Amino acid sequence: MGAGHGHRLYVPGDSPVHRLPAQCKLLAVLCFAIVVVATPRERFWAFGVYALLLVAVAAVARIPPGHIPRRMVIEVPFVLFAFLIPVIGLGERTTVLGLSLSVPGLWAAWNILAKATLGVVASILLATTSEPRAVLLGAQRLRVPGLLVQIAMFMLRYLDVILDEMRRMRIARESRGFEARNFRQIPVIARSAGALFIRSYERGERVHLAMLSRGYTGQMPIIQKMSASAGQWGAALALPLAALAVWGLSL
């Protein structure tokens, strides 16, 4: 579980996609996902064109081949679920390879698989080509509340510190012969979690003191201006606009 969370997706680079301001990319991916979700599931070719659009973006961004497929594992639980739907689905049934499957179930499975996959790949493209900090600042430009963005900034900054602490605690447990194998060991894990919470909380208080020491009064200073030109907006929004055109044609 959470195997995909061990490392972030960002891969530094200097492609045209990397250089676009994050708020443009964020809005583009969101609009693209909305168009995809709104596309009727019978339009096979539209989904095909959407996929080609994403491949084109990946090529422009010069993302190493293999990077995206590897990161798509995150989707696996829902893929399994999607495969289950035709088996347990209702309605008219058909026989495929000796299995009795629900026809509406097959459609639903296809619908979820296609849309979820396109959404995941679009998100991976965003996360791979944009620095996390820039994405959060971009979200703030898109009117996500500043306080929420600040919280997310602190979370990102201290995620590795806390995961490291957790790793050290696990090593300490395991070096004393502990293995999380059955129910009875939950108390040990819970004690670690409790200790981790105390450390996190106390660190939060120390960070707050460090901020106060340097003149913090509740507002983060906005240091750099992240504005996007019309051209950059145009370049980023080309993706959802192309998808929208495909959607329009498919009607």
Partner 1 sequence: MTHHHLSLEVSRLAYAYPDGTQALYGVDLAIRRGERVALLGPNGAGKTTLVMHLNGILTAGHGSVAVAGTPVRRDTLKEIRQRVGLVFQDPDDQLFMPTVRDDVAFGPANSGLRGEELDGVVRAALERVGMLEAIDRPPHHLSFGQRRRVAVATVLAMRPEILVLDEPSSNLDPAARRELAEILRSLDVTVLMVTHDLPYALELCERSLILSDGVIAADGPTRELLADADLLARHRLELPYGFAIPAAAETV
Partner 2 sequence: MHVPDGFFNAAVSISAGAVAAAGVAVCLRGAKRELDDRTAPMAGLVAAFIFAVQMLNFPVAGGTSGHLLGGALAAILVGPYTGVLCMTVVLLVQALFFADGGLTALGVNIFLMGIVTVLVGWGVFRLITRLAGGRGGITVAAFVASLLSVPASALAFTALFWIGGTAPIDLAAVAVAMGGVHVLIGIGEALITALTVGAVLAVRPDLVYGARGIARPLELRGADGTSTVTPQEQADPAPSVGSRPFVFGALGLTLLLAGVVSFFASGDPDGLEAVGEEQGFLSQAGDHLFGTWSLADYGDVGGIPVGIAGIIGVGLTLLVAGALGYAARSKDKTRV
- 91 CA to centre of own chain: 34
What number of other Cβ atoms are within 10 A of residue 217's Cβ? 7
Kindly tell me the burial class for residue 158, based on how many C-beta atoms sit within 10 Å of its own C-beta (0-12, 13-18, 19 or more).
middle
DSSP 8-state assignment for residue 63: P
* Among residues 203, 233, 237, 244, the one that binds partner 2 under rule CB under 8 A: 203
d(CA 59, CA 185) in angstroms, rounded, equals 48
13 contributes a contact to partner 2 by CB under 8 A: no
Could you tell which of partner 1, partner 2, none binds residue 133, using a CB distance below 5 to 8 A set by kind? Answer: partner 1
* Among residues 15, 108, 132, 144, the one that binds partner 1 under rule CB under 8 A: 132
**In the stretch 158-197, what mask flags binding to partner 2 with x, by CB under 8 A?**
xx-xxx--x-------------xxxx-xxx-xxxxxxxxx
Rg of the chain on CA atoms, in Å: 23
49 contributes a contact to partner 2 by CB under 8 A: no
245 contributes a contact to partner 2 by CB under 8 A: no
Interactions with partner 2, residue window 82-141 (CB under 8 A): 85, 88-92, 102-105, 107-109, 111-112, 114-116, 118-120, 122-124, 126-127, 132, 135-136, 139
29 contributes a contact to partner 2 by CB under 8 A: yes
**In the stretch 39-78, what mask flags binding to partner 1 with x, by CB under 8 A?**
----------------------------------------
Half-sphere exposure of 99 (CA within 13 A, CB side): 13
Strands 93-96 vs 99-102: parallel, antiparallel or unpaired: antiparallel
153 contributes a contact to partner 2 by CB under 8 A: yes
Q: Are residues 54 and 68 in contact, defined by beta-carbon separation less than 8 angstroms? A: no
212 contributes a contact to partner 1 by CB under 8 A: yes
Q: Are residues 27 and 236 in contact, defined by beta-carbon separation less than 8 angstroms? A: yes
* Among residues 133, 144, 233, 250, the one that binds partner 1 under rule CB under 8 A: 133
* Among residues 184, 221, 227, 231, the one that binds partner 1 under rule CB under 8 A: 221
Could you tell which of partner 2, partner 1, none binds residue 226, using a CB distance below 5 to 8 A set by kind? Answer: none
Q: Are residues 156 and 132 in contact, defined by beta-carbon separation less than 8 angstroms? A: yes
Count residues binding partner 2 (CB under 8 A): 99
155 contributes a contact to partner 1 by CB under 8 A: no
Helix 103-129 to helix 76-88 angle (10° resolution) is 170
E-assigned strand segments in the chain: 93-96, 99-102
> What residues line the site for partner 1 (CB under 8 A)?
132-133, 153-154, 156-158, 160-161, 203, 206-207, 209-217, 221, 223
